[in-house]
Structure 1
Amino acid sequence: MPSRAAERDPAGIGAARAIGFVAPALLLIGLFLVFPALWTLYIGITDYQLTGPAAAEPSVVGLDNFTTALTDPLFGNSLWLTGLFVLGSAVVGQNALGFGLAWLLRAARPGLRRTVEAFVLLAWILPGPVVAYLWFAVLSRDGGTLGLLVGRPGTAWLVEYPMVSLIVFNTWRGTAFSLLLYSSALAAVPPSHLETARLAGASGWQTVRDAVFPHIRGHVLTNTLLISLWTANDFTPFLLTAGGPNHESEVLPVLIYRQALESGQLGYASAMSSLLLLGNLVVALVYLRLLRGRT
């Protein structure tokens, strides 16, 4: 029988060498993830401000910033808008569009498939300010492309429909990741299952539900987790609407930015950031629990 030490170290590299292998990764995680999170938590319990006496000598205020945020109508409004933004553009929009494109392109000619994937990927890899400028031109009141196409010139889409505009924009921009992931997942579905469903007379929806989804359920959950977290922390909406008009598109990252840099309340903004981080952790734990139970 193998010794207890061999069971603990099946590769036989030794504890010191194993620690040496993972130390650089742990150092980077600690430097760029753990330390900023702990620093944000610390700032969140102080009255630290961008300027003034509190900038030089901040004092600890305990949980006052957190309780103020939870009772702040602006925070509640931003929390609701962030949930709407994530649900509309990530959970529904990017998931549905990404899977739909992957499903339609699975049997397309290689040239057509690569061309569509290239255009979708281009929207994802372009810098945020560039994409925001292009969409601002599309949605602009003065000669905007969308207004001319639908016969409504002069419509201020970003003012009259700010959240709808942001949801459509983020769906268009972020679909590439879902498309690539679902294309890879669909390639692993046994062709015999699809053929059996076809011979049984199943519709397209029935084929997806009964023959495809059981095989890619883990991919769906993983994709939804990642795009939800990315969307919840996305600052790009600020480039289009700056949270306006009248806070109607002020998602949490935008509100945190405005409280920190425009109002100068760094401690209060850090408390909001900590609440957003807590929300991300809760969402991640829910998805991970679903992933464990998928089998």
Structure 2
Amino acid sequence: MTERPTSVAGRAKRFATDVAGLGIARAVGFVAPALLLIGVFLIFPALWTIYIGLTNYELTGPNAVAPQLVGIDNFVNALDDALFQNSLWLTALFVLGSAVIGQNILGFVLAWTLRKAKPGLRRTVESLVLLAWILPSTVVAFLWFAVLDRDGGTLNALLGSEGTAWLVEYPMLSLIVFNTWRGTAFSMLLYSSALAAVPPSQLETARVVGASGWQTVRDIVFPHIRGHVLTNTLLISLWTANDFSPFLLTAGGPNHASETLPVFIYRQALEGGQLGYASAISLLLLLANLVVAAVYLWLLRRKS
């Protein structure tokens, strides 16, 4: 018994509602686990943070049992808080110094220098740089304590400056150098891939006409990798702005001199017990990240 054409057409229409021809029900079934994970671990925490930021929720005490809605008071208080303003400035300095300038420039220099190096040397340098990136934060912090220690530190021994407490006297400089050293691997790998796409004929032409290294990078290389530069800068800026590693070295000290926003949020939430206030600051940090991302995406669209 043959099926009626109208029935066949109706079934085909139902299964043609998506590109793979699975049908809406099956397609939803395939993506449901991923949507569930996103909802549980991303959307719900974000909404919960927004809600807590509108309350006076505390870690202990009466406000931990029955928090009250305070509206935008937490946000207003944060903007008037000198410690928050200090943390915001230090975070901007940390991102600019260690990510936008440090990791970007050092990563490109390594990629540009190693592109013609011998395979053995290139693999060795890349392995050492990657090792700094993949080591656990606690291990890296312990190593840098040994380097920057006031008594018997490696850096003081090399410079002959015994007694210099780098993490106390120059906390932000120490953190910028530390984060540049640790995070350069990603920039190096990204730029190595980008440089491989630059036409060799153009590089050879620049060499023949006597262009300097800087002129070659400016006029030949950069126009080809501009999109990669913006993408890399966006990613490392966001990662650095939300990095908690500075706490392992300085804990925000001395006297809040290295208290970046993630460290400030941690201390307000867990040390001060002000979960509502800390959540409001977390939301402000999220909004700052979105603004930075929007600027970079706008620059990418202009480039394209």
TM, length-normalised to structure 2: 0.93
- 2:24 is matched with 15
| 1:264 has 2:276 as partner | no
- 1:206 is matched with 215
| 1:188 has 2:205 as partner | no
| 1:176 has 2:185 as partner | yes
- 2:238 is matched with 229
| 1:289 has 2:272 as partner | no
| 1:103 has 2:112 as partner | yes
- 1:50 is matched with 59
Structure 2, gaps ≥5 residues long: 1-12
CA-CA distance at 1:157 after TM superposition: 0.4
Separation of aligned partners in 1, 2:217 and 2:38: 39
The AA in structure 2 aligned to 1:209 is R
| 1:78 has 2:87 as partner | yes
In terms of mean alpha carbon deviation, does 132-141 or 29-38 score higher?
29-38
Deviations for 1:10-57, whole angstroms, at most 9, x for unmatched residues? 443433333333333222222221111111111101000011000111
- 2:49 is matched with 40
- Judged with a 3 Å threshold, the aligned counterparts in structure 2 of structure 1 residues 250 and 188 are, in CA distance, closer, same or farther, namely same
3-state SS, counterpart of residue 108 of structure 1: coil
Deviations for 1:212-249, whole angstroms, at most 9, x for unmatched residues? 11111111111111100000000010110111111110
Separation of aligned partners in 2, 1:214 and 1:166: 32
CA-CA distance at 1:5 after TM superposition: 9.3
Separation of aligned partners in 2, 1:12 and 1:106: 46
Q: Contact between 2:17 and 2:23, CA under 8 Å: does it hold in 1?
A: no
Separation of aligned partners in 1, 2:89 and 2:63: 31
- 1:133 is matched with 142
The AA in structure 2 aligned to 1:29 is I
Which structure has the bigger radius of gyration?
Answer: 2
3-state SS, counterpart of residue 153 of structure 1: coil
- 1:26 is matched with 35
Separation of aligned partners in 1, 2:104 and 2:16: 42
- 2:3 is matched with none
3-state SS, counterpart of residue 202 of structure 1: coil
The AA in structure 1 aligned to 2:69 is V
TM, length-normalised to structure 1: 0.96
Identity of aligned residues (%): 78
| 1:89 has 2:98 as partner | yes
- Judged with a 3 Å threshold, the aligned counterparts in structure 2 of structure 1 residues 195 and 20 are, in CA distance, closer, same or farther, namely farther
CA-CA distance at 1:195 after TM superposition: 1.0
Aligned partner (choices 126, 133, 137) of residue 124 of structure 1: 133
Structure 1, gaps ≥5 residues long: none
CA-CA distance at 1:6 after TM superposition: 10
Separation of aligned partners in 2, 1:217 and 1:17: 41
